[in-house]
Structure 1
């Protein structure tokens, strides 16, 4: 860590490990977050460019990138890459708190207001999803059907497999509904606008990536999954994460969307696409993928519990989707 401190010009630096890839640094110059990213150098080049762009656009509610003493965004040694940001003071965001959800929505909207117009720098390779969603959903529908065929060839089924087959018709119906929207003109409008604007998003808008600052604002951290994509994808994820904690009630979704639209109004086409993202049975597909392909070492009780949660989600979403489509 001594060489890292020298590279950044940190005097009397003390390092406290937070997890496998993040350290908190206290130095004479202030407090910083030091990270050893696991992403590719090409992807990392885009992420650091995005952080610098947000600072240039004067977006206030995030952890800004800290450059080395040589003005470099990334410090490399021994085949490892390191980056540093400012340390955001405050407490962790809690999506069970209504005000935390609303502040997170406002911050996300403010991000989307400025997160466009960034041309990827030479040598970078951002993940680009503007037009990729219909194909991705088609692939996932095919995978669900493949899982069904695998079980048809199997003899005795366990409790999870029986539950999966019982839920599959409804899961496929929802997946096809979502795909139908993404094959519509509404999606084409949203994707075209995002591509033309060179929009980029945070992508991982979980509560752990918002810090509630003493000034009351929600600050965004950890842009590791930042990519070129539709702002609607971020909004859908925020609704999923927040409503999971708040309870899937129409008035709570309405409040979150209203807070977002205080800063950045959503078009009717964007709301339709958000509803499609919410409709697709993502948790159901992911659980099946883990069971059949990745062979997660969970016991049957854990698989059954996760399947039950995934299926229960389907009953709670339609009212929120109706709110979006009515708007």
Structure 2
């Protein structure tokens, strides 16, 4: 059945009658008529146990989320013949959050705030291991932007993508460096003494979903289900909000009205600290889409440039003026 062996499937307390591929997973229909999702897991057993701990705490607090299924032997992970580790979870029925629906988007953001209120109180060291500090991520992205620029600069004959990139590189690099410098400034909480700093950090940090987007928010029978917690980690909580807000703004051409409604929906459940507004601002101010398109180009086959990459780069440039208007609105909350 596709790429799952009978040796793996026999470890679970159900008989699989059909398999179809999902997003990097396998959706299995069982003999009881229900569906199970089986996906590979690259982390440690401790990490997947920590994710299950998070899911159980969410359930205790009335938030619908994934349910992990153990093997016949009570193990949380099962090993395939090629020694890859897999885990199974219940298939959640529902429609994905519709990004064109204002009601869906605002309900999803409010649910995210509720999620954060619960996860802020959950402690698990396994979700602090291997986390990526945002400042280090920015430093790495900036090095990659310079690497792309140096490569293109050294070419005698440049293609259409490369000429567009070089014409706009300095504008976006300045934005990237501004964010880098802003992240190097000390937090206001550091001037309040150690106890004050710790209390502010405790209010800002917690376990984040790690990939909160429209695909991982399901609506069903008047309820919202949040799925796919594989990237859960300890970080500034507004990292989830920034991730979702950026995706929605790119799709809605940085609609300021929608943005303010999304922020209000979040604050309806969980008020943001001044330091969190700062974090939200720097994460939105970073030219993430420009970096992403440039990085994709650099790591692809440069003998042939995809027309899709050129289209995406032009889209980034076309949206820049309205993006700056959006950032000026957001900066109002930082001041």
Q: Structure 2 vs 1, CA of residues 15 and 226 (structure 1 numbering), >3 Å: closer, same or farther? A: farther
Query: How far did residue 187 of structure 1 move?
Result: 8.4
Aligned CA RMSD, in angstroms, stands at: 2.8
Match of 2:219 in 1: 212
Measured in 2, the distance between the counterparts of 1:293 and 1:247 equals: 27
Match of 2:312 in 1: 306
Q: What are the superposed Cα offsets for residues 142-184 of structure 1, whole Å, 9 maximum, x if unpaired?
A: 3222322223322121111111011101101111222232122
Match of 2:65 in 1: 62
Judge conservation of contact 2:38–2:86 (CA < 8 Å) in 1: yes
Measured in 2, the distance between the counterparts of 1:271 and 1:298 equals: 42
Spell out the pairing of 1:17-96 with structure 2 (5 A cutoff).
17-19=20-22, 20-28=24-32, 31-37=34-40, 39-42=41-44, 45-57=46-58, 58-59=60-61, 60-78=63-81, 79-96=83-100
Judge conservation of contact 1:177–1:276 (CA < 8 Å) in 2: no
Measured in 1, the distance between the counterparts of 2:302 and 2:107 equals: 36
Q: Structure 2 vs 1, CA of residues 148 and 198 (structure 1 numbering), >3 Å: closer, same or farther? A: closer
Query: How far did residue 101 of structure 1 move?
Result: 0.6
Counterpart check, 1:156 vs 2:157: yes
Q: What are the superposed Cα offsets for residues 178-227 of structure 1, whole Å, 9 maximum, x if unpaired?
A: 223212234877x9655798722122122111111221x33111122222
Corresponding residue SS for 2:18: strand
Q: Structure 2 vs 1, CA of residues 140 and 188 (structure 1 numbering), >3 Å: closer, same or farther? A: farther
Judge conservation of contact 2:204–2:276 (CA < 8 Å) in 1: no
Q: Structure 2 vs 1, CA of residues 297 and 277 (structure 1 numbering), >3 Å: closer, same or farther? A: farther
Judge conservation of contact 1:47–1:226 (CA < 8 Å) in 2: no
Measured in 1, the distance between the counterparts of 2:48 and 2:321 equals: 37
Match of 1:118 in 2: 123
Query: How far did residue 100 of structure 1 move?
Result: 1.2
Measured in 1, the distance between the counterparts of 2:35 and 2:99 equals: 25
Unaligned runs of 5+ in 1: none
Counterpart check, 1:165 vs 2:166: yes
Match of 2:274 in 1: 268
Q: Structure 2 vs 1, CA of residues 272 and 196 (structure 1 numbering), >3 Å: closer, same or farther? A: closer
Corresponding residue SS for 1:36: strand
Query: How far did residue 135 of structure 1 move?
Result: 2.6
Spell out the pairing of 1:128-143 with structure 2 (5 A cutoff).
128-129=131-132, 132-143=133-144
Counterpart check, 1:103 vs 2:107: yes
Unaligned runs of 5+ in 2: 191-196
Match of 1:181 in 2: 182
Judge conservation of contact 2:29–2:35 (CA < 8 Å) in 1: yes
TM-score, with length taken from structure 1: 0.85
Q: What are the superposed Cα offsets for residues 307-327 of structure 1, whole Å, 9 maximum, x if unpaired?
A: 112223432323333333323
Judge conservation of contact 2:55–2:66 (CA < 8 Å) in 1: no
